[in-house]
Amino acid sequence: MVAVPRWRNIDTGDTVQTMTLPKLHLVALDCPDPYALAQFYAALTGIPVETWPGVDPQDMDGIDLVHSSLPALSFQRVEDYVPPTWPDGTIQKQMHLDFVVDDLDEGERHALRVGATKAAIQPGETFRVFLDPAGHPFCLIRRGRLNEPPSDPVERRSRPRFAAVAELRC
Protein backbone atom coordinates (compact mmCIF):
# COMPACT_ATOMS: atom_id res chain seq x y z
CA MET A 1 0.00 0.00 0.00
CA VAL A 2 1.31 3.44 -0.94
CA ALA A 3 0.79 6.28 1.51
CA VAL A 4 -1.08 9.17 -0.07
CA PRO A 5 0.13 12.59 1.05
CA ARG A 6 -2.48 14.59 2.92
CA TRP A 7 -2.60 18.17 4.12
CA ARG A 8 -4.53 19.19 7.23
CA ASN A 9 -6.38 22.49 7.11
CA ILE A 10 -5.35 24.20 10.35
CA ASP A 11 -8.60 26.20 10.49
CA THR A 12 -11.11 23.38 9.95
CA GLY A 13 -9.09 20.27 10.81
CA ASP A 14 -10.18 18.68 7.51
CA THR A 15 -7.64 16.58 5.64
CA VAL A 16 -7.28 16.88 1.90
CA GLN A 17 -5.67 14.31 -0.39
CA THR A 18 -3.00 15.92 -2.54
CA MET A 19 -0.68 15.08 -5.34
CA THR A 20 2.54 13.28 -4.63
CA LEU A 21 4.82 15.89 -3.11
CA PRO A 22 7.89 17.05 -5.03
CA LYS A 23 11.17 15.37 -4.16
CA LEU A 24 14.39 17.35 -4.13
CA HIS A 25 16.39 16.15 -7.15
CA LEU A 26 19.52 18.31 -7.09
CA VAL A 27 21.13 21.39 -5.65
CA ALA A 28 23.07 23.49 -8.18
CA LEU A 29 25.99 25.78 -7.39
CA ASP A 30 27.17 28.44 -9.83
CA CYS A 31 30.94 28.57 -10.28
CA PRO A 32 33.68 29.45 -12.78
CA ASP A 33 35.00 25.86 -13.17
CA PRO A 34 32.39 23.12 -12.66
CA TYR A 35 34.81 20.20 -12.92
CA ALA A 36 37.28 21.64 -10.41
CA LEU A 37 34.53 22.36 -7.88
CA ALA A 38 32.98 18.92 -8.45
CA GLN A 39 36.38 17.34 -7.75
CA PHE A 40 36.63 19.32 -4.50
CA TYR A 41 33.21 18.15 -3.27
CA ALA A 42 33.92 14.58 -4.41
CA ALA A 43 37.11 14.63 -2.30
CA LEU A 44 35.21 16.18 0.62
CA THR A 45 32.27 13.74 0.62
CA GLY A 46 33.41 10.62 -1.24
CA ILE A 47 30.47 10.99 -3.66
CA PRO A 48 31.69 10.33 -7.22
CA VAL A 49 31.67 12.84 -10.07
CA GLU A 50 29.33 11.75 -12.87
CA THR A 51 31.18 11.84 -16.18
CA TRP A 52 29.93 11.25 -19.72
CA PRO A 53 31.70 8.78 -22.04
CA GLY A 54 33.60 10.58 -24.77
CA VAL A 55 33.19 14.03 -23.20
CA ASP A 56 36.09 15.80 -21.50
CA PRO A 57 34.74 16.90 -18.08
CA GLN A 58 36.74 20.14 -18.43
CA ASP A 59 34.55 21.03 -21.43
CA MET A 60 31.24 20.52 -19.63
CA ASP A 61 29.24 23.57 -18.54
CA GLY A 62 27.60 21.50 -15.83
CA ILE A 63 28.63 18.39 -13.92
CA ASP A 64 27.10 16.46 -11.01
CA LEU A 65 27.99 14.39 -7.98
CA VAL A 66 25.49 11.53 -7.93
CA HIS A 67 24.60 9.31 -4.97
CA SER A 68 21.79 6.75 -5.02
CA SER A 69 20.11 7.98 -1.82
CA LEU A 70 20.79 11.74 -1.93
CA PRO A 71 19.88 14.63 -4.22
CA ALA A 72 22.58 15.31 -6.80
CA LEU A 73 24.98 18.15 -6.19
CA SER A 74 25.42 20.01 -9.48
CA PHE A 75 28.02 22.57 -10.53
CA GLN A 76 27.19 24.96 -13.35
CA ARG A 77 29.56 27.26 -15.20
CA VAL A 78 28.76 30.97 -14.97
CA GLU A 79 30.88 33.37 -16.98
CA ASP A 80 32.09 36.33 -14.90
CA TYR A 81 31.24 34.43 -11.70
CA VAL A 82 31.70 36.50 -8.53
CA PRO A 83 31.88 34.53 -5.26
CA PRO A 84 29.66 35.45 -2.32
CA THR A 85 31.21 37.36 0.54
CA TRP A 86 30.53 36.07 4.00
CA PRO A 87 29.69 37.28 6.54
CA ASP A 88 29.72 40.94 5.43
CA GLY A 89 27.15 40.37 2.68
CA THR A 90 28.58 42.72 0.04
CA ILE A 91 27.72 39.90 -2.37
CA GLN A 92 25.26 37.86 -0.35
CA LYS A 93 25.36 34.10 -0.19
CA GLN A 94 22.20 32.58 -1.57
CA MET A 95 22.52 29.28 0.25
CA HIS A 96 25.03 27.05 1.95
CA LEU A 97 25.51 23.33 2.46
CA ASP A 98 25.73 21.55 5.83
CA PHE A 99 27.63 18.30 6.33
CA VAL A 100 27.44 16.13 9.46
CA VAL A 101 30.69 14.88 11.00
CA ASP A 102 31.41 12.75 14.07
CA ASP A 103 34.41 14.87 15.09
CA LEU A 104 34.76 18.56 14.19
CA ASP A 105 38.56 18.61 14.48
CA GLU A 106 38.94 15.57 12.23
CA GLY A 107 36.37 16.96 9.79
CA GLU A 108 38.20 20.28 9.71
CA ARG A 109 41.54 18.63 8.94
CA HIS A 110 39.91 16.69 6.09
CA ALA A 111 38.15 19.76 4.65
CA LEU A 112 41.37 21.80 4.71
CA ARG A 113 43.36 18.92 3.20
CA VAL A 114 41.03 18.71 0.18
CA GLY A 115 41.11 22.47 -0.46
CA ALA A 116 38.59 24.25 1.79
CA THR A 117 39.43 27.48 3.58
CA LYS A 118 38.28 27.99 7.17
CA ALA A 119 36.17 31.15 7.46
CA ALA A 120 37.65 33.88 9.63
CA ILE A 121 34.40 34.20 11.59
CA GLN A 122 33.14 31.15 13.47
CA PRO A 123 29.75 32.03 15.01
CA GLY A 124 29.16 28.80 16.97
CA GLU A 125 30.80 25.97 18.87
CA THR A 126 28.94 22.94 17.47
CA PHE A 127 29.65 23.73 13.82
CA ARG A 128 32.43 25.28 11.73
CA VAL A 129 32.16 27.43 8.62
CA PHE A 130 34.39 26.91 5.58
CA LEU A 131 34.59 28.24 2.03
CA ASP A 132 34.90 25.95 -0.98
CA PRO A 133 37.41 26.82 -3.74
CA ALA A 134 34.78 28.96 -5.51
CA GLY A 135 33.96 30.88 -2.32
CA HIS A 136 30.65 29.22 -1.34
CA PRO A 137 30.27 28.90 2.44
CA PHE A 138 29.52 25.45 3.88
CA CYS A 139 29.37 24.09 7.41
CA LEU A 140 30.56 20.99 9.19
CA ILE A 141 28.15 20.19 12.02
CA ARG A 142 28.95 17.88 14.90
CA ARG A 143 26.66 14.83 14.90
CA GLY A 144 24.14 14.79 17.70
CA ARG A 145 23.67 18.57 17.82
CA LEU A 146 21.25 18.91 14.90
CA ASN A 147 18.07 18.67 16.97
CA GLU A 148 19.28 20.11 20.27
CA PRO A 149 18.53 23.78 20.88
CA PRO A 150 21.76 25.77 21.27
CA SER A 151 22.16 27.52 24.62
CA ASP A 152 24.17 30.41 23.18
CA PRO A 153 21.88 33.12 21.64
CA VAL A 154 24.43 33.92 18.89
CA GLU A 155 24.64 30.25 17.93
CA ARG A 156 20.84 29.94 18.06
CA ARG A 157 20.44 32.75 15.49
CA SER A 158 23.21 31.57 13.18
CA ARG A 159 22.73 27.81 13.41
CA PRO A 160 21.72 26.11 10.15
CA ARG A 161 18.13 24.90 10.10
CA PHE A 162 18.46 22.44 7.22
CA ALA A 163 19.65 18.90 7.83
CA ALA A 164 22.75 17.65 6.11
CA VAL A 165 22.94 17.05 2.38
CA ALA A 166 25.49 14.29 2.89
CA GLU A 167 27.42 12.71 5.71
CA LEU A 168 31.10 13.41 5.63
CA ARG A 169 33.08 10.29 6.56
CA CYS A 170 36.51 11.10 7.91
Q: What DSSP string runs through 82-117?
A: ----TTT-TT-----EEEEES-HHHHHHHHHHTT-E
pLDDT at 169: 40
Q: In the predicted model, what is the mean pLDDT of the chain?
A: 80
Q: What is the pTM of this model?
A: 0.69
pLDDT for the residue 143: 82
- Looking at residue 158, its pLDDT comes to 42
Q: Where are the domains of the chain?
A: 23-77, 97-167
- CA–CA separation, 27 vs 39, rounded Å? 16
CATH number of the structural domain 23-77:
3.30.720
CATH topology identical between 23-77 and 97-167: yes
3-state secondary structure of 167: strand
137: helix, strand or coil: strand
What is residue 39's predicted lDDT score, i.e. its pLDDT?
97
What integer pLDDT is reported at residue 107 of this predicted model? 94
Give the class (CATH, top level) of 97-167.
Answer: alpha beta
Q: Is the dihedral of CA 113, 106, 103, 68 positive or negative?
A: positive
List of the chain residues with pLDDT < 70: 1-11, 15-22, 145-170
> What is the model's pLDDT at position 22?
65
